[in-house]
Chains A and B, each alone.
Chain A
Amino acid sequence: MSLTQTPPMPTRDISLEGRGEPIGDKIFRWLLLTALLLSMLFLVVLISFLVIKGWSRLDSRIWTNMPNPRRPQLAGAQSAIMGTIWVVGTTAIISIPTGIAAAIYLEEYADRTKRFNQLIEVSIQNLAAVPSIIFGILGLAFIARRLGLGFTVITAALTLSLLILPTVIIATREALRAVPQSIRFGSLALGATQWQTIWKQVLPAAIPGIATGQILALSRAIGEAAPLLLLGGLTFVTTNPTGLDSAYTVLPIQIYNWISLPKEEYQILAAATIVFLLILLLAMNAVAIFIRNRYQKRL
């Protein structure tokens, strides 16, 4: 260590420590944190309010009984729960393969400098922000009437598929983008075709990310009410759907229906059903987060 010379010792002690965070900075930092804590407080109040309000009706009647507009103590949401399963299940069958296919094209094949592909990109970004009730109008004019599918499970599912397609595509693309290029190059170097590379290497590596995205998109479909108001979702239904051409109602719409009834018992029932819906959504989100954390590190 002969290269470095020891500098002459300072005659006075110089403290290199700052004077701490200036008071203005401290206030600013706390203000920013307060904004986040306010959102958190809102969530806590929201959930406590719902649980307290709905507590007396939070029992098995929600899924064993049918809606009843006159006798709130007998009312339940079974037809709405089954309707949600039918509608969102069908939506999943339609939107997941289409969304993944579109994402594969945009990520693996498309030349982004071409106008044609830019048009697709902008359409997807725009559709992701189009109000959901506009999709209801599209479903009403085109799917229910022009295609003549009426107010049925399949109309609702097709409409919701179009609604969540941008979300599915965007999430899938992110998952595909996270797959390292080296995997693609390795596969291509061994003589695999581009499709073999995608099907055998890229997709399996991206599956955890894709699955997470799909679950989050479907949980959006479960909570969506506005477009289905235009598609006959509010009709009074006391039977479970039996096929794609059945009349239907779904949980958020059943809740909306109870909110609009004057009796206080229905408001309590609405709160209880909301808690049921939130638990369902929370469970789906937990699965999504579990998949993400479990498989993320293997890449």
Chain B
Amino acid sequence: MIKFFLIGCALIAVVTTALIFLSFIQPTWEFFQLVTPMEFLFGTDWAPTFKPASYGVLPLVAATLLISFIALLVAVPLGLASALYLSEYAYGSVRKTLKPVLEVLAGIPTVVFGFFALEFITPTLRWILSPFFDGDLPQIFNALSAGLVMGIMIVPTIASLSEDAMAAVPNSLRSGAYALGSTKRQVSTMVVIPAALSGIVAACVLGISRAVGETMIVAIAAGNRPNLTWNPLEGMQTMTAFIAQIAQGDASTGSIAYDTIFAVGLLLFIATFAMNIFSIRLVRKYREVYE
């Protein structure tokens, strides 16, 4: 009896995943009755609430990719270096003081990061960069500021997962390398990192997944104007920011603009789902190798 109740609770996770898929079906179906998938996926103009409306999702996808890319440029080096230091260099009290920094960082609500990006990073960027550009670049809402702060937000994710992978590398490998006369740096870069590579890649993929799905930072700091550009100093709208904007009441329930939430949401879900499964597989692989 008790066991069945417990299984029921565990099954909620499976049911939730199924429900997420199911929630998308009907509205997305309605949406694709009116907009062809080709038009949706490859159109370059996104204006679902305008007349005439246009449903090309590329500007949102491009903005998502650009901001995630900036975030990764910050998060991957910082996260990996932090992980390597914590796993190979820091002992005892040093570790006890430094590790909570990442834990506190991981606990800060994303709305706070968004506020900081808009009110501190953006003015700072404008102060530094505006002499080099004419016009009003960087704009008040810009991808660079959102991406930089998002990068810091992801550092704990990448650092803690990579550190787990590095900790799983057996000490015999390190001892072997030391016995051959390697220095600590050589052991770190030529033994620990290659041996933990699948875990590190998994951590980075999970970091991308978090960047792509992050909503509040981009909704606050990157602006709400769909804009197909690769210039990070301009404002642009990501997929998540669009969902948040429409949900705030720009469109009435049941309208096609409302169904776009689900179409864009499905695209976002499929992308992050693929990345998550890939990363879960990789982690399982390194666990099998070393445990």
What are the residues of chain A within 8 A of B209 when measuring CB–CB?
129, 131
The reply to whether B9 and A134 form a contact with Cβ atoms under 8 Å apart is no
The listed residue (B3, B22, B276) touching A130 by CB distance below 8 A is B276
The reply to whether A104 and B107 form a contact with Cβ atoms under 8 Å apart is no
The reply to whether B77 and A35 form a contact with Cβ atoms under 8 Å apart is yes
The reply to whether B112 and A274 form a contact with Cβ atoms under 8 Å apart is yes
Task: Report A79-106 CB contacts with B as 1/0, cut-off 8 Å.
Answer: 0000000000000000000110110111
The reply to whether A101 and B5 form a contact with Cβ atoms under 8 Å apart is yes
The reply to whether A123 and B213 form a contact with Cβ atoms under 8 Å apart is no
The listed residue (B8, B27, B119, B248) touching A229 by CB distance below 8 A is B248
CA A97 to CA B215, docked complex, whole Å? 29
The reply to whether A25 and B185 form a contact with Cβ atoms under 8 Å apart is yes
What are the residues of chain A within 8 A of B110 when measuring CB–CB?
223, 225-226
The reply to whether A98 and B12 form a contact with Cβ atoms under 8 Å apart is yes
Task: Report A158-182 CB contacts with B as 1/0, cut-off 8 Å.
Answer: 0000100110010000000000000
The reply to whether A142 and B19 form a contact with Cβ atoms under 8 Å apart is yes
Distance of A249 from chain B, by nearest CB (Å): 13
Q: Among the interface residues A32, A223, A281, which one has the most CB atoms of the partner chain B within 10 A?
A: A32
The reply to whether B247 and A36 form a contact with Cβ atoms under 8 Å apart is no
For B277, the closest partner residue in chain A by CB is A126
Task: Report A7-50 CB contacts with B as 1/0, cut-off 8 Å.
Answer: 00000000000000110110011011111101110110110011
The listed residue (A32, A110, A169, A222) touching B89 by CB distance below 8 A is A32
The stretch of A58-66, A68-76, A202-210, A251-259 that contacts the partner chain: A251-259
CA A23 to CA B189, docked complex, whole Å? 16
The reply to whether A102 and B111 form a contact with Cβ atoms under 8 Å apart is no
Restricting to B236-253, which residues have a CB under 8 Å from any CB of A? Answer: 240, 243-244, 247-249
Task: Report B74-116 CB contacts with A as 1/0, cut-off 8 Å.
Answer: 0001100110111001000000001001111101111110111
The reply to whether A259 and B212 form a contact with Cβ atoms under 8 Å apart is no
Distance of A271 from chain B, by nearest CB (Å): 7
Measured as residues with beta carbon below 8 angstroms from the partner, the interface class of chain A is 35 or more
What are the residues of chain B within 8 A of A237 when measuring CB–CB?
none
CA A292 to CA B10, docked complex, whole Å? 26
Distance of B133 from chain A, by nearest CB (Å): 25
For A97, the closest partner residue in chain B by CB is B9
Chain A residues engaging chain B, CB cutoff 8 angstroms: 21-22, 24-25, 28-29, 31-36, 38-40, 42-43, 45-46, 49-50, 53, 98-99, 101-102, 104-106, 109-110, 119-120, 122-127, 129-138, 140-142, 162, 165-166, 169, 195, 216, 219-220, 222-226, 229-230, 234, 252-253, 255-256, 259-260, 267, 270-271, 274, 277-278, 281-282, 285
Other than the known A43-B101, A142-B22, what 9 A-B pairs have Cβ atoms closer than 8 Å?
A: A24-B183, A45-B120, A46-B120, A98-B9, A131-B209, A137-B261, A223-B111, A225-B109, A285-B104
